[in-house]
Amino acid sequence: MQSQQKMGTMRMGPLIFSMALPAMISMLINALYNIVDSIFVARYSASALTAVSLVFPLQQLVIAIAVGTGVGVNSLIARCLGAKDQEKADNAAEHGVVLSIVGGIVFILLGFLGSRPFLSGFTENAAVLEQAVSYSHIAVGLSIFVMVSIMCEKIQQSTGNMIIPMCQGLTGAIVNIILDPLLIFGIGPFPEMGIRGAALATIIGQVVGMLIGLWGVFVHQKVLALRMRGWKPNLRMIGAIYQVGLPGIIMQSLSSVLTAGMNAILIQFSETAVTILGVYFKLQTFIFMPVFGLNQGALPVMGYNFGARDRHRLLSAYRITLISALVILGVGTVIFQIFPAQMIMLFTPANDPAATADMLETGIPALRIISLSFLGAGFGIINSTVFQAIGHGLASLVVSFCRQLCIILPVAALLGYFFGLGATWYAFPFAEYIAVVISYAVLARIYQKEIKNLAPKAQ
């Protein structure tokens, strides 16, 4: 109870950072895991790293559905708590748990039956294809654990509890990092499993995170009372969750479509270009994950104060979150401009100087150009947080659709066709800053209709 009350009374700066810091730490560790995981895979073989890059869109799809559904549940719970509707908040959490399990079952089918048809469309290299399919069967087919884990994170975050979600991410990532070299290279009593070992290490880490999350939701937290034994589906409740969640799912799924589309464009130039895009996505998580942690801390605060009709606190949360995000991404831009070669060298295959030189030649300009988009992305992420927090997930979808499908892919294809591989990377900053203009136009409209005249209800 105290954790939800602080969202309406505590000073906004300390509140945002007390809520966001655990999520930021957890996400930084997860970003570190992503990088370390790919480093080990790259050391195993260059083809293995390319295979992981090809599977990445499917993994993005898993996260899109898990996070999108979780955000819908998070937003609904926070707004219900702000409006003092305890029963509806409890029921939203119960529905979230069930929806995450259903989503995981769907990915069992997709991972084992759909991986080969999907991946065969992006490479004719038999060795790369077999490694990609093998990795996908485990990492995608057994993704039910990460879906339940993410839902547990979102449920707890909606109540103001950020510590247990941090422990989920930390413990799962640490287990993953420890197991990676043991299972990939066959150290000690462990068999050499190669790329399958990397996938298995990921799943074991996710299982550990899920178990901690389930304990946090059903045993530790006291704000919500989940009664799964007598649970019954409520179509109106599911509709309320996906009013925010479905646009969020589609929005994040666009990242999967974007990556697959870019892979299709880049493979026409070389497999190295596809690998570099995969390396970029791994590296940029270390910059963007703290911002997404900030997002997770701010979303329930914004949702609670919107539900409580406190315009001043809602806007204060927006300003503090936006400024913090821009500072983080500004530092990230500087790092990508100064140290691209050093970052790429982390992912070069052992004892293969030709492949290393090829990756550096392709990757250095790519990282420098794409990083010019970081500040624009900061505006887009935080504006989307506002949209989701106040129940306007569709607004986030519109902005993201314009950026990732209507702009990046066509522009990248045209630039590549007329000016070559080096020009395709400019599609990222071009699209990001166009999206900034669109998102502020949408935000201004919502502000005038729903935020400008907010005032707390008389007691």
Q: Around 249, how many Cα atoms within 13 Å sit in the side-chain half-sphere?
A: 17
Pairwise CA distance, residues 223 & 84, whole Å: 12
pLDDT at position 2: 47
Query: What is the reported pLDDT for 1?
Result: 47
Calculate mean pLDDT across residues 295-308: 83
* Mean pLDDT in residue range 73-95: 87
- pLDDT category of residue 86 using cuts at 50, 70 and 90: confident
What's the rounded mean pLDDT across residues 182-197?
A: 92
> Distance between alpha carbon 374 and the CA centroid of its chain, in Å?
16
Residue 247, pLDDT above cutoff 90: no
Q: What is the DSSP letter of 347?
A: T
Gap between the Cα atoms of 311 and 298, Å rounded = 15
Quick: pLDDT tens for 100-141. Answer: 999 999 999 999 999 999 999 888 889 899 999 999 999 999
Percent of the chain residues past pLDDT 90, beyond the cut: 43
Pick the range with the lowest mean pLDDT from 158-162, 248-252, 289-293, 378-382.
Answer: 248-252
DSSP one-letter code for 229: G
Q: Is the model more confident about 197 or about 162?
A: 197
Closest CA to 382 of 253, 288, 295: 295
**369 is written with which tokens?**
């150009």
Using the predicted structure, report yes or no on whether residue 419 has a pLDDT greater than 80: yes
Q: Quick check: 60 pLDDT over 90?
A: no
Nearest-CA neighbor of 264 among 197, 203, 256, 458?
Answer: 256
Q: Tens digits of per-residue pLDDT, 249-264?
A: 877 787 788 888 998 9
Total Cβ atoms within 10 A of residue 441: 10
pLDDT at 3 > cutoff 70:
no
Return d(Cα 306, Cα 284) in angstroms, integer. Answer: 32
Distance between first and last Cα of the chain = 19
Identify which of 114, 384, 125 has the alpha carbon closest to the alpha carbon of residue 256.
114
**Weakest mean pLDDT among 38-52, 108-122, 173-187, 385-399:** 385-399
Cα–Cα nearest to 258, from 226, 231, 280, 290: 280
Q: What pLDDT is recorded for position 388?
A: 81
Mean per-residue pLDDT, 81-86 = 82
The pLDDT of residue 457: 55
pLDDT at 459 over 50: no
Residue 423 CA to residue 432 CA, distance in Å, equals 16
Q: Name the residue with tokens 């140290």.
A: 339
Query: Is a pLDDT exceeding 70 seen at residue 4?
Result: no
Average pLDDT score, the chain: 87
- The per-residue pLDDT for 215 is 95
Residue 173 has a pLDDT of 85
Q: Name the pLDDT band for 188 (thresholds 50, 70, 90).
A: confident
More confident residue, 325 or 80: 325
* Burial class, 66, CB count within 10 angstroms (exposed 0-12 / middle 13-18 / buried 19+): buried
Stretch 362-386: mean pLDDT, rounded?
Answer: 93
Highest mean pLDDT among 75-79, 174-178, 415-419: 415-419
**pLDDT-wise least confident of 153-157, 210-214, 247-251, 357-361:** 247-251
pLDDT number for residue 175: 92
Burial of residue 235, with CB atoms counted within 10 A of its CB: 0-12 exposed, 13-18 middle, 19 or more buried:
exposed
Q: 289 or 34: which carries more pLDDT confidence?
A: 289
Confidence at residue 83, expressed as pLDDT on a 0 to 100 scale: 77
CA distance 433 to 436: 5
Amino acid at 290: P
What's the predicted TM-score (pTM) here?
Answer: 0.74
What's the pLDDT at 290? 87
pLDDT tens sequence across 383-406: 988 888 887 777 877 887 887 778
Q: What percent of the chain has pLDDT over 70?
A: 97
